[in-house]
Amino acid sequence: MSFSKKLKQLFTSTPPKNNWDGLIETYKTWLPVSNKTPIITLKEGATPLIEVKSISNRIGNGVKVFVKYDGLNPTGSFKDRGMTMAISKAKEAGCEAVICASTGNTSASAAAYASKGGMKSFVIIPDGYVAQGKLAQALVYGAEVLAIKGNFDKALDIVRELSDKYPITLVNSVNPYRLQGQKTAAFEIIENLGNAPDWLCIPMGNAGNISAYWMGFQEFFHAGKSKRLPRMMGFQASGSAPLVEGKSINNPETIATAIRIGNPVNKEKAILAKESSNGRFSSVSDSEIINAYKILGREEGIFCEPASAASVAGLLKIKEDVPKNSTIVCVLTGNGLKDPDCAIKNNDSIFHTGVEAEINSITKIMGF
């Protein structure tokens, strides 16, 4: 073929088709949508399941550990799975504005999907306790941000009251469509592994995600798409562990700000998931979280946020109890880029500053 003919063909052929249309389109028969639902999507979902040998090796006994890297969603957290559903249903209902309380990721996701759907978003966050990347996102995606002098739990009380009294839709995980969207992560894991894992390890804040995964695993199991149900292993930061301690925490504290929540709204659902799956709730300290965070970065090339590392930290903490030859999935809920301050403060790498811009000083440092 002549060059000019090739060139012509290149410009007249149809562009490649997008082979992933987002999770609502993919799983619509499993979701409460109809052909009247306007699908507001940023092509979320289809995130990778990655084997992490450095973690498997630390456990031994033929155990295989994978991470579900949900930090690769469009706004960098699993919240997008729930938000595509919540915003599409809000749009279907004719709503013009949405509101949420957030430790950061919900606000980033709500703001992005609201903008995509032509809606206004308001987000209420605890002043000073939201990671920089998340705040930057909410602002760039066009939310109106209100940072309150109070923690997440207080912010949630306020938005619940506002959405009761005013024409504005609440998109926190009390919104049932959020959990519907989030359950699709369990579907993807079953499709990737050809079965459910033995254990699912997951961080818990408001405990919506563990409840959503459990719903997804059950639905696929009952449809014959998996041969077993996993044990649901939920982890919290020790300074913020209401589900482990069995009582609300008034002043939750942890480096993992995404799970700095003292009174989880989905606590009953999460307890049910734990009990019906013969699962377990445990807590991990901030230093255990940071240890797992560093291992994932340095040994696996995976940068997650501290809250996400709680799933791996938790698994390492109870590694003695892991059955031989089992398959385990740890959920990495958010992307490490969300919290650059934490990253810069917590790493074991060498960072030389003020280096002279000439070869000799550089080779000297490099040890040549």
Interface residues toward ligand PLP, by CB under 6 A: 77, 79, 105, 173, 203-209, 258-259, 305, 307-308, 333-334
Q: Give every CB contact of residue 34 below 8 A, 6+ residues apart in sequence.
A: none
Task: Count CA within 13 A, CB hemisphere, residue 102.
Answer: 31
Q: Rounded to an integer, what distance in angstroms lies between the CA atom of residue 51 and that of residue 99?
A: 37
Is the CB of 148 or the CB of 337 nearer to ligand PLP?
Answer: 337
Q: Rounded to an integer, what distance in angstroms lies between the CA atom of residue 12 and that of residue 74?
A: 30
3-class DSSP state for residue 127?
coil
Q: Give the CA dihedral 158, 210, 113, 156, nearest 10 degrees.
A: 0
- Closest to 213 (Cα-Cα) out of 250, 248, 239, 188: 188
The separation between CA 164 and the C-alpha centre of its own chain, rounded to angstroms, equals 27
Smallest distance, Å, CB 106 to ligand PLP?
6
Is the CB of 71 or the CB of 197 nearer to ligand PLP?
Answer: 71
Residue 118: exposed, middle, or buried by beta-carbon count in 10 A (0-12, 13-18, 19+)? Answer: exposed
| C-beta nearest to ligand PLP: residue | 334
Q: Rounded to an integer, what distance in angstroms lies between the CA atom of residue 248 and that of residue 236?
A: 13
334 is in an annotated binding site: no
263 is in an annotated binding site: no
Smallest distance, Å, CB 340 to ligand PLP?
15
Ranges assigned E (strand) in 102-168: 120-126, 144-148
Smallest distance, Å, CB 77 to ligand PLP?
5
Is the CB of 63 or the CB of 143 nearer to ligand PLP?
Answer: 143
307: amino acid identity, one letter: A
209 is in an annotated binding site: yes
137: amino acid identity, one letter: Q
Is the CB of 205 or the CB of 279 nearer to ligand PLP?
Answer: 205
Q: Which residue is listed with tokens 């109809």?
A: 34
Smallest distance, Å, CB 203 to ligand PLP?
4
List the structure tokens of 321.
Answer: 């109890």
Is the CB of 63 or the CB of 85 nearer to ligand PLP?
Answer: 85
14 is in an annotated binding site: no
Task: Count CA within 13 A, CB hemisphere, residue 93.
Answer: 15
Is the CB of 288 or the CB of 305 nearer to ligand PLP?
Answer: 305
Smallest distance, Å, CB 13 to ligand PLP?
41
206 is in an annotated binding site: yes
172 is in an annotated binding site: no
208 is in an annotated binding site: yes
Residues linked to residue 290 through DSSP beta bridges, in sequence order: none
Is the CB of 115 or the CB of 182 nearer to ligand PLP?
Answer: 182
Cβ atoms within 10 Å of 304's Cβ, excluding its own: 30
Smallest distance, Å, CB 4 to ligand PLP?
52
Smallest distance, Å, CB 104 to ligand PLP?
7
Binding-site residue numbers are: 105, 205-209, 333
Binding site for pyridoxal 5'-phosphate: residue ranges?
105, 205-209, 333
